Amino acid sequence: MYRRRFLARAGAAGVTIGGAATLTGCLDEGQDVGMTANRFIPDELTVTVGDTVVWENTSTRTHTVTAYEGGIPDSAEYFASGGYDDEVTAREAWNGAFGGGLENGDRFSYAFTVPGRYDYVCIPHEEGGMYATVFVEE
């Protein structure tokens, strides 16, 4: 689990995020990325090819996990909560009926099979800066 590696590097005693919340207070067992009211924690994560990342909505706001279509490797499969095949469809689904939304406690997972940089966003909170990156190494 790479969450443990991140915690070890950051100092597992509790990393202060934005002066209030702590990383250890946001992440639960079996989860790699938490979602607060307006950000992904951590906003950068490094994993190895073949690893599965688990996102969990840890806030009371509805969020999405939506890859930027131009922000993933060319040979990588597109990913988005709701299972959409492309970014346009994911955005249309959210704008039409809140498709792909994750409520408090909901989880989304994705197995990374291609190395590279993967940029993603929470559609309803994109303007507030809720985007993040997964780096996938060999």
Give residue-wise pLDDT tens across range 53-104.
999 999 999 999 999 999 999 999 999 999 999 999 999 999 999 999 999 9
Q: Tell me the pTM.
A: 0.80
Instruction: Look up the CATH number of the domain holding residue 28.
Output: 2.60.40.420
Greater model confidence, 117 or 25: 117
**Region 110-115 average pLDDT:** 98
Q: Tell me, what's the pLDDT at 31?
A: 80
All residues at 6 or more sequence positions from 103 whose CB lies less than 8 Å from its CB, including other chains = 57, 62
Q: Tell me, what's the pLDDT at 111?
A: 98
- Looking at residue 73, its amino acid is P
State which residues form the domain around 56. 2-137
The number of distinct structural domains making up the chain is: 1
